[in-house]
Amino acid sequence: MKKSSFRNNPALAGLLASFTAIFLGLAFGFIMLVVFNPSFAGAGIVKILTKGLSSKEKFAKVLYQAAPLMMTGLSVGFAMKTGLFNIGGSGQYLIGTFCALMFGVVFKLPWYLSLLAAMLGGAFWGIFPGLFKALFNVNEVITAIMFNWIGLFLVNLTFSNTPTVLANYYGASVADRTANIEAANPSAVIPKLGMDKLFNSSYMNISFFVAMLVAAVVYIIIDKTVFGYELKACGFNQKASIYAGINAKMNVVISMMIAGALAGLGGGIYYLCGTAQYTIEKVLPAMGFNGIPVALLANSNPIGIIFSALFISYIQVGGEALQPEYAKEIVDIIIACIIYLSALSVLMNGFITGLLKKKDNQEEAKEEAPLEETR
Amino acid sequence: MKILADILGSTILFGVPLLLVALGGMFAERSGVINLALEGIMIIGALFGCLFLRNANLTGWGEAHPQLAMLTAILLAGFVGALFSLLLSVAAINLKANQTISGTALNQFAPAFAVVFSWAIQGRGQTTINIPSWIRITTANFGIAPSADPGFWETFLFKSFYLTTPVALVLFTASCVILYKTRLGLRLRACGEHPQAAASVGVNVYKMRFIGTTISGFLGGIGGLAFTIAAGSSFQSTVAGYGFLALAVMIFGNWKPVSIFFAANFFAFFKVISSYSSNIPFLPKFENIKSSSYIYQCIPYVVTMLVLIFTSKRSQAPLAEGQPYDKAQR
């Protein structure tokens, strides 16, 4: 009996569905490798699967990239819990970057205050989609897209006109990027606590742990507070939640604001590592969009997002090692494949629940597995 | 005067991809499917269209029959776009998957595939596909000798004239007729508003949504090629967010073809103004500000936002968009 209830657990089916998606995605990636360059395919898939753990330095790189990915993933996941699709992660991430660098490099504040500024900046940028939806009925997806670009141009404009933030003010020869933080204000660099020596990599710092802490906080907000309950209620059925006395419009605004804060913090922790410099160009940062697959793979579960961010960062590090035999974008194809399959989660969950039940219910004459949406 | 001709000509050039892709989005949404994959569809269409043009150029066949080659490239882009959109249809319509997620998956797939594919075809590290210059329609095609100092009309019509523009006009007219004057259009719209009601009078909702999404893939693919041609002389596995902008244009145009036509050109006009800002005499130059072009680049987005704020109260999205059709539901 106990065994049966374990097998009927929808979370288990969800997890198995995710693993099936990952496995099939990797299999598809392998087929791609074979099609495009058969002689390197075997070595290629091994690289994707093992490179991230091949050395301490590579593992440090995995953690380094996973931290901002986790933040944008949490941002998308949090909004999705309220039934909103936050495609504005890029803009919020950018404004977060902007605030972190302005406060860290120009106003010489320490790293934690700069990160706080990044959060506030992202939250500010997140207000607009929710607010315009609530006040003017503007589709939030469109507002978010427009504000991505508005944010990009404003950030570039302001950086270009703030000489004290640019690299050339601190002795570098280029003016198209922001300053090396180590040179401009060492106190704004996120502390490494000696881990850089332990891992033998300048990429290593506490940002991954900060991100994990935030994921835990988000989990508590969503699952253990009244506020989180109200947000989820709005996500499941907005009309019912209004009937139950929840201020749905307000919740939409607050939810997007928090999502913005999370993405903004992502920008802050990436650019305050001391290893990255923001380059002024006309392209939206991919990190904002990459939060979408991270959230989807984890089914928007904050704890799951820790692992999906790690996984995506892991195979991205593996993908970089594929060059020059293949373009590293093969990894993006694998990720796309995994998302596509997890979009079919209803189908897969049903299928897997069915399989699990079949094993159990040979004595019980129950035939149909309930097709449950676990999202 | 010549600068005005330049601006208007470029507006049409950039308006065409927005118009086509937004119309594509409209067909999908009027049938009840949110096609977030337009960005990806554009990239796939542009990839195959540009590869065809490149090969036509290599064999020399293209230069001999430039407009025939261009027409083939357009049709190929549309065909591949439609084929690619089937991935969305299968997931979103038959398997009742989340339409946003499957659309995002296609958007993630397309640029990566374009890079990997053009890398594999052109050799290591070469991910840029050059577009031959013979695709442009010049005065010579009409037997007019090019003048040394082109006037208003010649600049307006021929400075940047490609076969995509007349094709877009034909497709626009066809879209209006199909959506409002045919049985197919009526059924399609019914499926986007109330699929169960449509089903109750014998309409096959799945089939209608399949048709809607496939049309959107066809238009999206052509739009991708049109954008690549407008944006420069090469394809670099990106359409710079135009697929999402087209969605904004579609909402701005209230899911109606004629409004979308004006919305697309409105947006394109401001976009072009921003890139010509330094050449327009009466615009302020902001001489004390570095990189002041960013101010003008913001304008199309800010203006669209303002217009949306004032018009969205009356916005009429198809009622059933984004909801998988379930026969058992009422």
Tens-digit pLDDT profile for residues B177-224: 999 999 999 999 999 999 999 998 999 999 999 999 999 999 999 999
Average pLDDT value for chain A: 85
pLDDT above 70 for B38: yes
Q: How far is A329 from chain B (nearest CA, A)?
A: 5
Quote the strand ranges of chain A, DSSP E: none
The count of CB pairs under 8 A between chains A and B is: 147
The number of beta carbons lying within 10 Å of the beta carbon of residue B176 is: 16
- Pick from B40, B167, B162: nearest CA to B107: B40
In tens, the pLDDT along A241-267 reads 888 888 888 888 999 999 999 999 999
Please answer whether residues A94 and A155 qualify as being in contact, where contact means their C-beta atoms are separated by less than 8 angstroms.
yes
Q: How far is B109 from chain A (nearest CA, A)?
A: 5
In tens, the pLDDT along A168-193 reads 888 777 778 888 888 888 888 888 88
In tens, the pLDDT along B84-140 reads 999 999 998 888 888 888 888 899 899 999 998 888 888 767 788 888 888 888 777
Say what the pLDDT of residue A96 is: 96
For residue B223, give every residue at least 6 positions away whose Cβ sits within 8 Å of its Cβ, in sequence order, or none.
B16, B17, B18, B19, B20, B21, B24, B38, B42, B45, B242, B246
Q: Pick from A153, A292, A333: which is nearest to B294 by CB?
A: A153
In tens, the pLDDT along B144-182 reads 766 667 777 777 777 778 899 999 999 999 999 999 999
> Across the interface, do A160 and B294 touch by the CB < 8 Å criterion?
yes
Looking at beta carbons, which residues of chain A come within 8 Å of B307?
A: none
> Across the interface, do A346 and B297 touch by the CB < 8 Å criterion?
no
If you measure CA to CA, which chain B residue comes closest to A142? B248
Looking at beta carbons, which residues of chain A come within 8 Å of B326?
A: none
> Across the interface, do B101 and A296 touch by the CB < 8 Å criterion?
yes
Please answer whether residues B211 and B184 qualify as being in contact, where contact means their C-beta atoms are separated by less than 8 angstroms.
yes
Please answer whether residues A139 and A252 qualify as being in contact, where contact means their C-beta atoms are separated by less than 8 angstroms.
no
Say what the pLDDT of residue A10 is: 65
Rounded average pLDDT over A282-287: 82
Q: A177 has which bridge partners?
A: A279
> Across the interface, do B101 and A339 touch by the CB < 8 Å criterion?
yes
Q: Please tell me the distance from the alpha carbon of residue B182 to that of residue B190, in angstroms, as a whole number.
A: 13
* Confidence category of residue A209, pLDDT binned at 50, 70, 90: very high
Give A70 or A134, the one with higher predicted confidence. A70
* Confidence category of residue A8, pLDDT binned at 50, 70, 90: low
Looking at beta carbons, which residues of chain A come within 8 Å of B119?
A: 36, 326-327
Say what the pLDDT of residue A362 is: 58
Looking at beta carbons, which residues of chain B come within 8 Å of A141?
A: 247
If you measure CA to CA, which chain B residue comes closest to A332? B112
Say what the pLDDT of residue A373 is: 46
Say what the pLDDT of residue A128 is: 93
> Across the interface, do B248 and A145 touch by the CB < 8 Å criterion?
yes
Q: How far is A78 from chain B (nearest CA, A)?
A: 15
Q: Pick from A139, A156, A335: which is nearest to B294 by CB?
A: A156
Q: Please tell me the distance from the alpha carbon of residue B38 to that of residue A363, in angstroms, as a whole number.
A: 50
Rounded average pLDDT over B319-327: 80
Q: Outline where chain B has alpha helix (H).
A: 2-30, 38-59, 61-64, 66-89, 99-122, 152-158, 164-181, 183-193, 195-200, 205-231, 242-252, 257-276, 293-311
Q: How far is B112 from chain A (nearest CA, A)?
A: 5
pLDDT above 60 for A125: yes
Whether the model clears a pTM of 0.90, i.e. scores above it, the answer is no
Give this complex's ipTM. Answer: 0.87
Looking at beta carbons, which residues of chain A come within 8 Å of B308?
A: 132, 136, 138-139, 142-143
Q: How far is A164 from chain B (nearest CA, A)?
A: 14
Pair of tokens at residue A312: 């995506």
Q: How far is A142 from chain B (nearest CA, A)?
A: 5
Q: Pick from A154, A342, A345: which is nearest to B298 by CB?
A: A154
> Across the interface, do A149 and B96 touch by the CB < 8 Å criterion?
no
Q: Which residues in A104-133 are b (16+ Cβ under 10 Å) and which e?
A: bbbeebebeebbbbbbbbbbbbbebbbbbb
Q: B130 has which bridge partners?
A: B234
- Pick from B185, B43, B55: nearest CA to B122: B55
Pair of tokens at residue B273: 């103004």
